[in-house]
Amino acid sequence: MTDRIRVAVIDDHPLFREGVAHTIRSSKVLEVVAEGSCADDAIRIVKDEVPDIVLLDVSMRAVARGESYVSPSLAARLLTMSRRTPQVSNEDSDRADLTPREEGILDHVALGMTNKEIARRLSISEKTVKHYMTNIMQKLHVRNRVEAVLAFQRKPARAKANT
């Protein structure tokens, strides 16, 4: 029998990582030499174990840089659902509940900016941006940034006050 292929599994979701490692361990040609949960683990494992293959969760690397990650299939499903979902609630009042600052933050999110980039642009802390996003998602009754932008863009714009 030839040498087994040495594999390292790096994923920040423990259950997924363990499942993949378990499946690999049942193979007669593959061998799990290490598991890790972050970029630092990946670097250490590659240096120490020198695996033949590294299975790496790419979205974990993007999130570590402060970027948002939504899989292409989820984004497509959300867009499709948003086109088919009838509008039923107090949309005008939901949008009217957003402050001008919250609307501004959502405008930046719609441009694909990360919390860190928004914070820099608006000269506020990243923690403050996260706080705003939590409030926005609660007010719009959504679960994530993509849904928030979609919900915000579907709602009629509120009248601008003359100041």
Asked if residues 95 and 155 have their Cβ atoms less than 8 Å apart, the reply is yes
The phi and psi torsions of 109 (rounded to 5 degrees) equal -60, -40
pTM to 2 decimal places: 0.42
What pLDDT shows up at residue 161? 44
> What are the helix (H) ranges across the chain?
14-25, 39-49, 58-64, 72-84, 91-96, 100-110, 115-122, 126-140, 145-154
pLDDT per residue rounded down to tens, the chain (163 residues): 568 999 999 998 888 899 889 989 988 899 999 999 988 898 899 999 999 998 887 666 765 566 655 555 655 565 555 555 444 444 444 455 899 999 999 989 888 889 999 999 999 999 999 999 989 989 998 888 888 888 887 765 544 444 4
Q: Please list the residues that pair with 54 across neighbouring strands.
A: 8
DSSP code of 2? P
> Domains of the chain by range and CATH?
5-64 (3.40.50.2300), 72-154 (3.40.50.2300)
